[in-house]
Chain A
Amino acid sequence: MNLLTSMGALPLLGALLIAFLPAANTKLIKQAAFVISLLVAGVGISAALGFDVNKSGFQYVEKYSWIPALGINYQLGVDGISLILILLSVILVPIVILAGWNESENGRFSVKTFYVLILILETMMIGVFAATDVFLFYVFFEAMLVPVYFLIGGYGTGARQAAAVKFLLYSLFGGLLMLASIIGIFVISGNQIGRTFDIEALSTLQIDSTTQNFLFLGFFIAFAIKAPLWPMHTWLPDAAKSATPGTSVLLLGVLDKVGTFGMIRYCVELFPEASKTFTPLIITLSVISILYGAFLAIGQKDIKGLIAFTSISHFGFITLGIFAMTTQGNSGATLYMLNHGFSTAALFLTAGWMISRRGSSTISEFGGLQRVTPILAWSFFIAGMSSLALPGLSSFVSEFLVLVGTYTRYPVAAIIATFGIILAALYILIPVQKALHGPTTPGNENLPDLNKREIAAIAPVIAVIIALGFYPKPALDIINPAAQATITKAGFSDPAPVVGGDK
């Protein structure tokens, strides 16, 4: 069997296996889920090692007819961009399982259900990035909502049901708009080249500009809800506040990337002309998102809410990079997706541990953790520094690339976006100061530091953050050709730097 299919099927089979384990033996269930997710990560890493960075186009391609009557194929393949995101997903899942060893305990449903849902979700995540058939992509895109919905609504805290429903309805609304566009492009393909959903074939269609604009909007709104871009972001803070830390990691770290990934793969590549038309609008929305997210993050009293709003700011950067339509911007955006995945994971996991130890998620309830729980505090600190893009940590490289890539085409937007970095320093340093430094808040004196399991979970994340900060080349080697190809397909060329002229 092909590598991508095996990787996708493995968690599903694992979920099936877990479904047959005795429900009472939660330890066995957790161990089984962890081992399965490690195996999947192993397959993912071997896929990355076997990936030929010098070849253009999709690799590990497989194609079987699924519903021939409608021209639908089961068709998978990865290029650099999707490979990086699959890698991110399969690495984060075992980390999330290990880090949140006990977060499945107090849910509405059984522990077993939690891990079954997580593993089903993993299959969907791999599928959504690997699909090269638009219909298949849509199936994963929508079906993915179901496990997430139950994960938020069943295991979260606070107003979890409301948050889960809000998440689901927002996503469904976007998905249905996308469905209309998919139907549109499907019908157009039928008139020109015979009905197909093959993404490479679809990008060769000649579509008149009005139709292209509408079809583009259908896709874009769906993705802008997913990757939340201002003003379609309101579901995210609620969902992130209610979900368990592990679910939030997957939600913000991976699922929201489906939105930004979709913008590259579907919006830009299928509708280059419409992308060009809407670029000014999208750049504006991105810049607003960057500043809006940052300002609201500064004002947050709840630590999960804070991370959610920083993510909105970061998604602004990613979208900015994508629609700058330069190779640097695009590579930067993709690298940013990877880095944001890891730094959000680190932030959410450490914040989750702080919350479960203190029993509160209000920032002001913490204080002086540096003295009481040094390892936890350092982990949070490094995660925070990565989030504000400190040089030497991974996010710096990507943020820099995005800004440079944007500046060559949209200097004003790039300059305004740079303020986001300054605000980032505020929204990270304020909670760092409040929670980690200063006198120990009464009641926090006896909080336990991270145990071995938690250290084992956070260590690889921090290692990746530091490693990619100093040496991003392996990741960029994978990303760059794909980013280059995207820009070329969209019909752009990088503007040559001009010295002394005005643009």
Chain B
Amino acid sequence: MTFTAPALEYGALAPMLVIFGAAVIAVIVEAFVSAKLRAPVQLSIALGAIVLSFAQVWRLRGTSTATAAVNSVVVDGPVLFMQGTILILAFFAFLLIADMDAFAAQASAIPGSVEERKALQVGKIQTEVYPLTLFAVGGMMLFPAANDLITLFVALEVLSLPLYLMAGLSRRRRLLSQEAALKYFLLGAYSSAFFLFGAAFLYGYAGDVSLSGIHAAIASGPGNDAFLLIGMISLSVGLLFKVGAAPFHAWTPDVYQGAPTPVTAFMAAATKVAAFGAALRIFYVALSGAQWSWKPVITAVAILTMIVGSVIAIAQRDVKRMLAYSSIAHAGFLLTGVLALNQEGLKASLFYLASYGFTTLGAFALVTLVRDSSGEVTDLNRWVGLAKRSPSVALIFSIFLLSFAGIPLTAGFIGKFTIFTAAYDSGNIGVVVAGVLSSAIAAFFYIRVIVMMFFTDPEEDTVTVTIPSLYTNLTIWIAAIVTIALGVFPTPILDAIASLATFVR
């Protein structure tokens, strides 16, 4: 038996290779560079890698290499767009992370121990968050590009494992943070098992792990339908968990609340892109032939997700939890793009993911600014009267909230409009109506926050708005500008998406 080395298209894989390479270097830096220099070196490596990787994505934009690495990775328009989006979002997430204030000095130290206090005092701050984030970014870039179930699963784990750790890194309220991390890990592991189980059944059905092979098997239809159904259901559970769709959403609020806010920002923005990218590819490419089997289920999940997200968000008193439920509602809206199963749906989803990512990043970045002596204040009751103390922060946060609510002239509106149009076009009118009604419910809690900030007098117990660092400031302003710009003049992005948006099968 002869062994032939697989042909690897390094050019097509370059964006991911750069990131993974940088992640490995960052691990070495963590071990060998002195504590003082570590943070700036890590930041430069991370940002440099992202810029380099983005340049590779840019270089690839015209080419249609189709598949790489023995058919296990696809490089097509949607993938490049999503990789570009993830990279840009990660760039700004790194800027937020650069304010190391949110992270525990030594994540391994027991919360409240002498060891921990000492480490803080002498400034022995570990920076493992950088390599972890880089690994997660690499996994996220691979996830929507994966062309077979094995690669999908590998990508899923590569992106998830660092996130589990990162959720536990918070400097303040460490127990809450560690609890969130553990919860995320256990539920995540559970959903990974479902994913793997589904993958096995789909392999059993199609005799092939590649997405195109599954598509072909469904089209010719000789396989065992029970295998197909079990496979699809289990695989969907794994995916729906990652996107935070009901009834697999329970982890979202706890993790969003417990994780350090910069990590939450990164997770909320970039993970959505990656997970929906993969979901879109699986449903559009592999399972479109079996749509009559999964569409009713996904429709129900989409409607449930919208309603659960919007309704439960009303009861939230913590801004991070509220944003978490809002992200659940948005996952429901995004599922309508999956359901549309047409070119429009894909384009709309890509636009929605990009615009939602920026708005989310900006919103969480802003949350890091509102503090008192013991750190960030996420209790909404203490946000009252924020506009009096810091009108610009309140104004920009309102812009983000209005975009979440889908008010015209913000990116959120164009996203909602295009995605609902695609769903209506494909005949899913019920989902559109549910989406519109839950938007109306959602508007209520977004507006309530605006009311709190602008129309209620601040109480005695005041929070302060810290002067943002240059990095955070830049992130917030860029996010705000993008949110408005994509709402007023989305043409360049819509055109770019239109020229890219075809999945290579």
Contacts and interface: CB of A to CB of B under 8 A. Distances in A.
Contacts of B425: 187, 190
Contacts of A143: 407-409
B421 A154 contact: no
Interface in B429-444: 429, 432-433, 436-437, 439-440, 443-444
Contact of B443 (A108, A150, A169): A169
Interface in A130-156: 138-139, 142-143, 145-146, 150, 153-154
Nearest to A180: B436
A146 B448 CA distance: 14
Interface stretch (B79-87, B236-244, B288-296, B488-496): B488-496
Nearest to B433: A180
Given A69-B495, A70-B418, A146-B407, A180 B447 contact: no
A176 interface: yes
Contacts of A184: 424, 429
Nearest to B495: A69
Nearest to A145: B407
B325 interface: no
Chain B: interface secondary structure?
Answer: helix
B454 interface: yes
B69 interface: no
Contacts of B409: 139, 143
B494 A67 contact: yes
A183 B440 contact: no
A139 B408 contact: yes
Contacts of B455: 108, 153-154, 160-161, 164
A176 B440 contact: yes
Nearest to B450: A149
A490 B59 CA distance: 55
B440 A180 contact: no
Nearest to A179: B436
Interface residues of A, number: 32
A168 interface: yes
B420 interface: yes
A67 B495 CA distance: 9
A266 B409 CA distance: 22
A186 interface: yes
A165 interface: yes
Nearest to A69: B494
Given A69-B491, A180-B432, A142 B451 contact: no
Contact of B454 (A145, A153, A179): A153
A179 B451 contact: no
Given A154-B454, A169-B444, A172-B443, A69 B498 contact: yes
B437 A153 contact: no
Interface in A158-186: 160-161, 164-165, 168-169, 172-173, 176-177, 179-180, 183-184, 186
Given A68-B491, A143-B408, A184-B424, A179 B443 contact: no
Interface string B463-505: 0000000000000000000000000011100110010000000
Interface in A116-142: 138-139, 142
Given A69-B491, A180-B420, A173 B440 contact: yes
B153 interface: no
B417 interface: yes
A148 to B, nearest CB: 13
A177 B440 CA distance: 9
Nearest to B490: A67
Contacts of B433: 180
Nearest to B494: A69
B337 to A, nearest CB: 14
Nearest to B443: A172
B420 A183 contact: yes
Interface string B212-238: 000000000000000000000000000
Contact of A138 (B408, B420, B436, B490): B408
Contacts of A68: 491, 495
A156 B402 CA distance: 23
Contacts of A153: 451, 454-455
| Highest count of chain B CB atoms <10 Å: which of A138, A160, A169, A183 | A183
Interface string B245-275: 0000000000000000000000000000000
B451 A161 contact: yes
Contacts of A139: 408-409
Contact of A179 (B402, B417, B491): B417
Nearest to B421: A183
A177 B436 contact: yes
A70 B494 contact: yes
Contacts of A183: 417, 420-421, 424, 432
A5 B417 CA distance: 25
A166 to B, nearest CB: 11
Contacts of A169: 440, 443-444, 447
Contacts of B494: 67, 69-70
Nearest to A190: B425
Contacts of A173: 440, 443
Nearest to A177: B436
A187 B348 CA distance: 14
Nearest to B416: A179
A176 B407 contact: no
A84 B437 CA distance: 34
Interface in B387-433: 402, 405, 407-409, 414, 417-418, 420-421, 424-425, 429, 432-433
Interface string A185-209: 0110010000000000000000000
The 8 A-B residue pairs with the shortest CB-CB distance, nearest first, are A69-B494, A139-B408, A161-B455, A180-B436, A173-B440, A142-B408, A176-B436, A176-B440
30 contacts: A66-B491, A67-B491, A67-B494, A68-B491, A69-B491, A69-B495, A70-B421, A70-B494, A138-B408, A142-B408, A143-B407, A146-B402, A146-B407, A150-B454, A153-B451, A160-B455, A161-B451, A161-B455, A165-B447, A165-B448, A168-B447, A172-B443, A172-B447, A176-B436, A176-B437, A177-B436, A180-B432, A183-B420, A183-B421, A184-B424
Given A176-B440, A190-B425, 17 more contacts: A66-B491, A67-B489, A67-B490, A68-B495, A69-B498, A70-B494, A150-B454, A153-B454, A154-B454, A161-B455, A165-B448, A169-B443, A176-B437, A179-B420, A179-B436, A180-B433, A187-B421
